[in-house]
Chains A and B, each alone.
Chain A
Amino acid sequence: MSIALRGVTKQFGEYAAVENIDLDVPTGALMALLGPSGSGKTTLLRIIGGLETPDQGQVLFDGQDATLWPIGDRKVGFVFQQYALFRHMTVFENVAFGLKVKRRRERPSAPAIRKKVQELLALVQLDWAHDRYPAQLSGGQRQRVALARAMAIGPQVLLLDEPFGALDSQVRHELRRWLRRLHDELHFTSIIVTHDQQEAIEVADTVVVLNRGKIEQVGIPGEIYDLPESAFVHRFLGQVNELPVLLRDGRAYIGPIDISAAAEVQTGSAQNIALIRPHEIEIGQPSSGWPATVVAVRVIGPIVRLDVCADGHSVHEPLEAEISRERFEAERFTIGQRVGVRFRRWQVYPAAA
């Protein structure tokens, strides 16, 4: 099912949770709504699911106006961060719930329900747990039960609100990959809300970045990461170093490095900042760039993170650089060593943004 939002606005008192949102989710897409808390991503999801009614605008399901449809009629599967499993029911009863509450003439027979639930539990690899209570399961298992329960009603849309937020990072990683596989096999339209940029990039085919109730950027994950359209998106999608861009004699500098050749400097604006990701910084001989001192070295598996204090830049804000393990093994940078910093890539934004 395709979903479209047209001019959706929702106020909570004086506070605009989402403002004039237009968004198209094509059938079969797996879209991530990414943003910090308070960006309106959950409100948007709840509006699509029918848990909130927008003050203005329309929600279209397959082109039909679904703005005022009751939740139960929307056939959406909801998965919450805290699982929301019915704690007094076994795993089996939880998954069967959506089938058992159907009107009598639509309700499948008891054996049919049992068969369907067993299928779903097999799908989420929890068939052995059918008679357990939620309290007896781990977080990852509970979330899989919640997913099976949501899928029992045969939804065409799956809405996931920070589904892996309460899990530890290894389980989270596994579940993400598993969700992606499941999505590819079953072809429903999925929308996942997350504040974790890595999750959004890993799992979704389209990422929507939200900030203060508005859409900042929509794009495929690689594009969002590499070509952010605003300083906000740039900052939100990963680590960045922020350096002021200095204008002198009609030329632009980051520290002592002349960046005028790159035509992106907005000389019209008095204050510009350059955002540089850690892996876009190169560390070399002191003579090769902006002179700096190494103040910290951390080996993190395949990469090595170096904190360097550039001369003339605040000592409280060392630059964060990432280099490959191989390069580190070759160069053996140590704390206190004098080095030269160069930038492979950067992006300049007006400072106010």
Chain B
Amino acid sequence: MGRWLLIVTALLFLCVFLVLPLLAVFAQALAKGFEAYYLAIMAPMAWAAVKLTLLVAAIAVPLNLIFGVAAAWAIAKFNFRGKSALITLIDLPFAVSPVIAGMIFILVFGTHGWFGGSLRAHHIRVVFAVPGIVLATLFVTFPFIARELIPVMQSQGKDDEETALSLGATGWQTFWRVTLPNIRWGLLYGVLLCNARAMGEFGAVSVVSGHIRGVTNTMPLHVEILYNEYNYTAAFAVASLLALLALLTLAGKSILEWRQPELRHAVRMPRDRTRRA
């Protein structure tokens, strides 16, 4: 009885807060028919936003991947001075409001910021340009992968790596053949979360972007502009595209998981089936 109550509660909650809004997005996007939807998506400004969003994610996610693995490796496998400080620092973007994160970059790289003068002298634009958006996205998304990996790596300990080294593997071989396969699910999950956030980030990006249509507008920013112009169909059409990207990544993860043989085979067998010696 209690179990069913729990399940029903969870399902209800899921429906109200997840499924309904998702359906609403698609319903609103298609409210004026497929043609309107198609036109909204194919608008040049919308396309520019899609491309910029994918570009930002394509830069931010790999960089965070490298940083996240390195940080998690250092924290989980070594002891060093300042380790807890590093863990706290990694959490900083979670604690700081994205708007403040955006302001930081304006302060540092903006026209009146610390490096504003020298940047302008070299004709490099950071704020109100693509580099700024990438930086802000990097800042906001950098805890995701490290945070996902640290507990996984800590729980696995160092035995596997030490064994590999004692068997004569180099550090590089150990990483590719032992560590990486051990953490790949955590890593994949971290990458997905990081990617979702990189594509969906609004606050920090909004501050540094300058909202130049077709140039510095990412999808979330574009949705907001369309919405503010009372162009609901177009706004929700782009929003549905964003939602679709998220659904696709989740589907990709499920397929990858399903195709892993050892996960399906990892069923505990009855104890010791050897002939006793």
Chain A interface (Cβ < 8 Å from any Cβ of B): 49-51, 71-72, 74, 76-78, 80, 82, 84, 86-88, 97-98, 101-102, 125-126, 133, 135-138, 140-141, 146, 149-150, 152-153, 171, 174, 178
Contact = CB atoms under 8 A, between A and B. Distances in A.
A152 B166 CA distance: 11
Given A98-B168, A141-B272, A178-B277, A135 B159 contact: no
B103 interface: no
Interface string B145-177: 000000000000101101111111110010001
B182 interface: yes
Given A86-B181, A101-B177, A135 B164 contact: no
A133 B165 contact: no
A62 B275 CA distance: 39
Contacts of A149: 163, 167
Contacts of B123: none
Interface residues of B, number: 30
Interface string B165-197: 111111001000110011000000000000000
Contacts of A49: 166
A111 B36 CA distance: 64
B169, B271, B272, B273 — most chain A CB neighbours (10 Å): B272
Interface stretch (B53-61, B127-135, B261-269): B261-269
Nearest to A152: B167
Contacts of B265: 133, 135-136
B277 A125 contact: yes
A87 B262 contact: yes
Contacts of B160: 84, 86
Contacts of A126: 274
Contacts of B276: 174
Interface of B: 157, 159-160, 162-170, 173, 177-178, 181-182, 262, 265-269, 271-277
A72 B165 contact: yes
A77 B162 CA distance: 11
B273 A101 contact: no
A78 B262 contact: no
12 contacts: A80-B159, A82-B157, A84-B163, A86-B181, A97-B169, A126-B274, A133-B265, A135-B266, A138-B271, A138-B273, A150-B167, A152-B167
Contacts of A174: 276-277
B176 to A, nearest CB: 10
Nearest to B276: A174
A71 B166 contact: yes
A146 B160 CA distance: 11
A140 B274 CA distance: 10
Nearest to B270: A138
Nearest to B269: A136
B219 to A, nearest CB: 36
A174 B266 CA distance: 26
A50 B166 CA distance: 8
Contacts of A101: 164, 167-170, 173, 177
Given A84-B160, A125-B274, A135-B262, A98 B178 contact: no
B167 A97 contact: yes
Given A72-B166, A86-B178, A153-B167, A133 B269 contact: no
Contacts of A72: 165-170
Which A-B residue pairs are the 10 nearest by beta carbons? A98-B167, A84-B159, A101-B169, A135-B266, A88-B181, A138-B272, A78-B166, A72-B168, A84-B163, A71-B165
A272 B273 CA distance: 53
A148 B249 CA distance: 41
A88 B178 CA distance: 8
A51 B162 contact: yes
A94 to B, nearest CB: 10
Contacts of A138: 269, 271-273
A72, A78, A152 — most chain B CB neighbours (10 Å): A72
Contacts of A146: 163
Contacts of B170: 72, 101
Given A88-B181, A101-B177, A136 B267 contact: yes
B262 A133 contact: yes
Nearest to A12: B79
Contacts of A84: 159-160, 162-163
A49 B165 CA distance: 11
A250 to B, nearest CB: 57
Contacts of B181: 86, 88
B208 to A, nearest CB: 41
B266 to A, nearest CB: 4
